[in-house]
Chains A and B, each alone.
Chain A
Amino acid sequence: MSNRRKIENGALALSIFGAILIVPPLLNVFNVEVLIFGAPLIIIYLFSLWILLIIATFFLSRHLSDSPTLEQNNDSFEADDIEGEN
């Protein structure tokens, strides 16, 4: 698997995990009456998760690129990643 593919898959995984982490039942794990720095845990949880998603996207986006790499050309031709030339 080429490096580019890995980053692409990482980006997909990030969106999926992000979606799973902000819906019940996982969300309800943090929905308890606990205060952290004076604020309810669930609020701290949601905002920290949010900022982590932003940071992760920031780093992933820098490596997601359109230009096909050399390894990628060796992939089977069913692969849907032969980019158009602009």
Chain B
Amino acid sequence: MLSANFVIFIAVAYIFLLFILAYFSDRSQKMGKKSFLNSPLVYTLSISVYCTSWTFYGAVGSAARNGLEFLAIYLGPTLVFVGWWFILRKLVRVGREQRITSIADLLSSRFGKSNRLGVLVTLIAVIGTTPYIALQLKAITNSIQVISASGNSSAISGFGDGTLALGIAALMALFTIFFGTRNVDANEQHHGVVAAIAFEAIVKLVAFIAVGIFVVFFVGGGVGNIFAKANEAGIDIYRADSFGPRWIAILFLSAAAILCLPRQFQITVVENANEGHLRTAGWAFPAYLFLMSLFTIPIALYGLTALPEGSNPDMFVLTLPLAEGNTLLALFAFIGGFSSATSMIIIATIALSIMISNHIVMPIALRSSENLGTEDGRGVTRLLLTSRRVSIIFVLFLGFLYFWFSGNSDALASMGLIAFAGVAQFLPSMIAALYWREASVNGAIWATFIGFLVWAWTLFLPSFENSSQAVANLISEGPFGLEFLRPQALFGMSNMDPLVHSVFWSVLLNVVTLIVVSLFTKQSSLERIQANMFVDVFSLKKTGQAELVRGSATANDLMFVAQRVLGGKRAYEIFEGFAKQSGVKREELIVTSEFISRLEKELAGTIGAASAHVVLSKVLSGGEVSLEEVMQIADETQQVIEYSQRLEQTTKKLRATAKELKQANESLTQLDKQKDDFLSKVSHEVRTPMTSIRSFSEILLTHDDIGDEQRNKFVSTINQESKRLTNLLDEILDLNALEKGERIWVNRLVNGEEILERTINICSPIAMQKNVLLKRGAKASNDNINAEPDRLAQVYINIITNAIKYNDAKDPIITISSMSKAGFYIVDIADNGSGIAKQDAELIFEKFSRGRRTQGGDDGGLGLGLAISREIIDKMSGSLELIETNNSGACFRVKIPLTKEE
């Protein structure tokens, strides 16, 4: 067994270790080293400040009493982190852009830098957090009692419970003051503290898993064995009643808590050094929670079966190793529990102290002193540090008092979820702050206030039921005998779980108030500006506008204020930086609205948005322009920028339309040109025969002395030319009709091979005449096609006669082959001539174009043949093209889809 003194010594030594760790982390950060302290891992570990002693010890107790309910407390935050891209990312971005210092500051800043809202949120946070701190103190004293086995709760080797708790609270205060308020940071980040918290996160995780492994694998004989034994002992291991409204309520509360608990906000948003860290935390924090809860059920079940009846399940983590005689492990578990308690106390206290000093102390100080401590240059800084230190002591002392007065009652045990429900009242306003532009300050104040009242009435007050007879009476009879106001059965809703009842009413009334009041109140210009800054945080471009503020304070006045609040060095840096950016010397700096809003943000990073606003208003009100007006100007600028962005978009659309019109115009011009070409070609083609007809007929008319032979020759020429003319006109009409689809066209089922053979027979005399060899190549196996046989033959004849006509080879050969392939009947007609130049491959299908090689020698071709052929094949759903082959000559391919035989 361990002596109490030894355990206390270990605890103090552990805190001392934290001091050293925090000190060296702070120092390495100061020296500007890029250490692992800035890694996403440390960020993720520090978020696990969520796991307090309430979850370290209490989860096992909860699992023993309520089955799987404890899992909901981990699954809610898991969902929030799985969806980090949507809420957390925006929250962190807003937090960084607006230099948010706490959740009170977030809401106050968004809702027109309202200090009333800041005060309200701060008060609720203090009321909700103090009992939670008391719970940690209780967990620490309880665990010391258990592990030192004094058995007697009133005296541990000379210490009373209270003395012990007070001592621990004092040590925590010392640590927090030392590392939480060493200086007033530009952005409220405490690297030393975060490092210590990350270290504690590892300690508690390893301690819990160590106990888990010990219980499951060393004494319990495996997971299956533990469940089997528990089942034998009559414990309901299935807990079919676990999942009802209460499960959903706890999921909701824990999801809200991971966003709204002051300590979570501090760690997740304020201490965030890099938005990218969320990327890792998104999966790593749920993984941490997963590991943390993996062994909870086996420990609880084994504790219920192995330990004597009546043992406190909340202390199984300690009592199980002790019962097995493993004191070293028990001590380690104690340190794990101790670290989870201390980390919560440290961060919660820092967060609360910032809220108290920025939203309660500063506004009062600003109101009472007209000239910001002129007698001493560092007045505000000193005031801030002092008020924070006092706040820390105040908060911890409050926690201690709470612990002292409710010490032996069980009012503390349920405090975890009660605190969750309390801070959940911030959630509606917080979500509205990020996503609902119309939400107004009055809406937020009333919603939070009413939600808080309902919570206090239905959940917080009833937690004193066992320690106060008056409260017990109130619960059973209602105030002044008004039954419908009974805290746990508002309006007669009596058969609900008290937690579900409270969450339902408080959140419902909260949301309804927020919406209704926001819709019925008007936003001030400052609110509207802030609403845009928050809601559009991802889409707003930073304004590069340099608006001259007429008649307002000079740069010197502002410098004076900045020095008071930020300290001389930092103020100098800001002014210097801004001067450099606008390209002037610091002394010549001109006060622009941009500079004022930047300065206000810097000030807000130290004293909160509301106070910063008041401070600057004071300075600027001396001039002709008030800060409200400056903000108005900024807002108008913003609107102008938005307008010009929209204009730009419209212009872009117009440009696109213009481009389309231009393209349409181009293609029309092209068509017009084609028409002109066509007409001129037709005229040319018509003119040649007409000229010869005219001249021959003129000769016949004017010369009577022509011999019969001559006359016959002339007449036959006229006849020939007329025929040619008719042919030409026929073809033009034909083509025109084909293109316009005027001719009735009937495709029917025919044999492609038959038509091809017929064509070859027709062409062979012409070929023989010109000494061209017509060769028949491969034959298709399947030739059922839908076609107009005469028209198809016309196409074949056209191609073959062309091939005969233009073949300039020594031994001209034309190869005609056919095949059926991939659903097509294909006919290739190839010659061994000099082929067709590549650039002419498409041109030859145009009207009146002949291959280049024939230019000059007129041989009666009209140049319409291929155009008509292509048109015909199109009508048969096929294609006609010139394909490339290995041979020198041209090869035309006719491709017609095969039909399925019926």
B83 at the interface (CB under 8 A from A): yes
Chain B residues with CB below 8 A from A39, complex form: 223-224, 227
User: How far in angstroms is the closest Cβ of chain B from A52?
Assistant: 10
Chain A residues with CB below 8 A from B251, complex form: 22-23
- The answer to whether A15 touches B86, judged by C-beta atoms less than 8 angstroms apart, is yes
Chain B residues with CB below 8 A from A61, complex form: 84-85, 279-280, 282-283
User: How far in angstroms is the closest Cβ of chain A from B297?
Assistant: 6
B139 at the interface (CB under 8 A from A): no
- The answer to whether B83 touches A11, judged by C-beta atoms less than 8 angstroms apart, is yes
- The answer to whether B243 touches A40, judged by C-beta atoms less than 8 angstroms apart, is no
- The answer to whether A38 touches B227, judged by C-beta atoms less than 8 angstroms apart, is yes
B174 at the interface (CB under 8 A from A): no
Considering the chains assembled together, what is the distance between the CA atoms of A12 and B242 in angstroms? 27
- The answer to whether A81 touches B287, judged by C-beta atoms less than 8 angstroms apart, is no
Considering the chains assembled together, what is the distance between the CA atoms of A50 and B82 in angstroms? 10
| Contact bitstring B165-183, A, C-beta under 8 A = 1, else 0 | 0000000000000000000
Q: A38-B222, A38-B224, A38-B225 are in contact. Are A81 and B244 (CB under 8 A)?
A: no
**Which of chain B's residues has its CB closest to A53's CB?**
B82
**Which of chain A's residues has its CB closest to B275's CB?**
A66
Q: 8 Å CB contacts to B: which residues of A18-73?
A: 18-19, 22-24, 27-28, 31-33, 35, 37-40, 42-43, 46-47, 50-51, 53-58, 61-62, 64
- The answer to whether A84 touches B539, judged by C-beta atoms less than 8 angstroms apart, is yes
Considering the chains assembled together, what is the distance between the CA atoms of A82 and B251 in angstroms? 34
User: How far in angstroms is the closest Cβ of chain B from A77?
Assistant: 4
B248 at the interface (CB under 8 A from A): yes
**CB-defined A-B contacts under 8 Å, sample of 14:** A11-B83, A12-B85, A15-B79, A27-B243, A31-B243, A32-B238, A46-B68, A57-B82, A61-B280, A61-B282, A80-B536, A80-B538, A81-B539, A85-B541
Considering the chains assembled together, what is the distance between the CA atoms of A35 and B724 in angstroms? 97
- The answer to whether B242 touches A47, judged by C-beta atoms less than 8 angstroms apart, is no
- The answer to whether B237 touches A11, judged by C-beta atoms less than 8 angstroms apart, is no
Chain B residues with CB below 8 A from A51, complex form: 290
**Which of chain A's residues has its CB closest to B87's CB?**
A15
- The answer to whether B79 touches A80, judged by C-beta atoms less than 8 angstroms apart, is no
Partner of A53, one of B228, B247, B279, B286: B286
- The answer to whether A54 touches B290, judged by C-beta atoms less than 8 angstroms apart, is yes
Apart from the given pairs A46-B71, A61-B84, A77-B649, 7 other A-B contacts in the complex at a CB distance below 8 Å = A24-B243, A28-B243, A31-B243, A35-B227, A42-B242, A50-B286, A51-B290
Chain B residues with CB below 8 A from A23, complex form: 243, 247-248, 251
Partner of B79, one of A18, A27, A42, A82: A18
| Contact bitstring B107-135, A, C-beta under 8 A = 1, else 0 | 00000000000000000000000000000
Considering the chains assembled together, what is the distance between the CA atoms of A71 and B611 in angstroms? 44
Chain A residues with CB below 8 A from B297, complex form: 43
**Which of chain B's residues has its CB closest to A8's CB?**
B85
- The answer to whether A85 touches B542, judged by C-beta atoms less than 8 angstroms apart, is yes
| Contact bitstring B618-652, A, C-beta under 8 A = 1, else 0 | 00000000000000000000000000011001000
Q: A47-B294, A53-B286, A57-B283 are in contact. Are A33 and B238 (CB under 8 A)?
A: yes
Chain B residues with CB below 8 A from A18, complex form: 78-79, 82
- The answer to whether A15 touches B83, judged by C-beta atoms less than 8 angstroms apart, is yes
Nearest first, the 7 A-B pairs at minimum CB distance are A38-B224, A15-B83, A58-B283, A57-B283, A77-B649, A61-B279, A57-B82
Considering the chains assembled together, what is the distance between the CA atoms of A18 and B251 in angstroms? 12
With an 8 Å Cβ cutoff, the count of chain A residues facing the other chain is: 42
User: How far in angstroms is the closest Cβ of chain A from B128?
Assistant: 25
Considering the chains assembled together, what is the distance between the CA atoms of A51 and B224 in angstroms? 20
Chain B residues with CB below 8 A from A83, complex form: 538-539
Partner of A57, one of B81, B86, B538, B542: B81
Chain B residues with CB below 8 A from A43, complex form: 68, 297
Q: A27-B243, A53-B78, A80-B539 are in contact. Are A42 and B68 (CB under 8 A)?
A: yes
Considering the chains assembled together, what is the distance between the CA atoms of A47 and B293 in angstroms? 9
- The answer to whether A47 touches B290, judged by C-beta atoms less than 8 angstroms apart, is yes
Considering the chains assembled together, what is the distance between the CA atoms of A61 and B281 in angstroms? 10
List residues of chain B with CB under 8 Å of any chain A CB. Answer: 68, 71, 75, 78-79, 81-86, 222-225, 227-228, 237-238, 240, 242-244, 247-248, 251, 279-280, 282-283, 286-287, 290, 294, 297, 536-542, 645-646, 649
**Which of chain A's residues has its CB closest to B536's CB?**
A80
User: How far in angstroms is the closest Cβ of chain A from B508?
Assistant: 19
Considering the chains assembled together, what is the distance between the CA atoms of A84 and B79 in angstroms? 27
Chain B residues with CB below 8 A from A24, complex form: 243-244, 247-248
User: How far in angstroms is the closest Cβ of chain B from A56?
Assistant: 8
Chain A residues with CB below 8 A from B222, complex form: 38
User: How far in angstroms is the closest Cβ of chain B from A20?
Assistant: 10
User: How far in angstroms is the closest Cβ of chain B from A36?
Assistant: 10
Considering the chains assembled together, what is the distance between the CA atoms of A55 and B649 in angstroms? 40
- The answer to whether B538 touches A84, judged by C-beta atoms less than 8 angstroms apart, is yes
Chain B residues with CB below 8 A from A77, complex form: 645-646, 649
- The answer to whether B68 touches A11, judged by C-beta atoms less than 8 angstroms apart, is no
- The answer to whether A64 touches B279, judged by C-beta atoms less than 8 angstroms apart, is yes
- The answer to whether B283 touches A38, judged by C-beta atoms less than 8 angstroms apart, is no
User: How far in angstroms is the closest Cβ of chain A from B543?
Assistant: 11
Q: A14-B83, A38-B228 are in contact. Are A50 and B68 (CB under 8 A)?
A: no
Considering the chains assembled together, what is the distance between the CA atoms of A82 and B279 in angstroms? 20
**Which of chain A's residues has its CB closest to B240's CB?**
A31
Chain A residues with CB below 8 A from B286, complex form: 50, 53-54, 57
User: How far in angstroms is the closest Cβ of chain B from A27?
Assistant: 5
Chain A residues with CB below 8 A from B646, complex form: 77
Chain B residues with CB below 8 A from A54, complex form: 78, 82, 283, 286-287, 290
User: How far in angstroms is the closest Cβ of chain B from A68?
Assistant: 10
Q: A38-B225, A38-B228, A50-B286 are in contact. Are A11 and B86 (CB under 8 A)?
A: yes
- The answer to whether A42 touches B238, judged by C-beta atoms less than 8 angstroms apart, is yes
Partner of B242, one of A8, A15, A31, A62: A31
User: How far in angstroms is the closest Cβ of chain A from B514?
Assistant: 22
Considering the chains assembled together, what is the distance between the CA atoms of A85 and B542 in angstroms? 8
**Which of chain B's residues has its CB closest to A57's CB?**
B283
Considering the chains assembled together, what is the distance between the CA atoms of A37 and B13 in angstroms? 43
Considering the chains assembled together, what is the distance between the CA atoms of A29 and B778 in angstroms? 69
- The answer to whether A37 touches B224, judged by C-beta atoms less than 8 angstroms apart, is yes
User: How far in angstroms is the closest Cβ of chain A from B65?
Assistant: 17
- The answer to whether B82 touches A15, judged by C-beta atoms less than 8 angstroms apart, is yes
- The answer to whether A57 touches B294, judged by C-beta atoms less than 8 angstroms apart, is no
Chain A residues with CB below 8 A from B85, complex form: 8, 11-12, 61, 64
Partner of B75, one of A28, A50, A62: A50
Considering the chains assembled together, what is the distance between the CA atoms of A28 and B224 in angstroms? 22
Considering the chains assembled together, what is the distance between the CA atoms of A25 and B511 in angstroms? 26
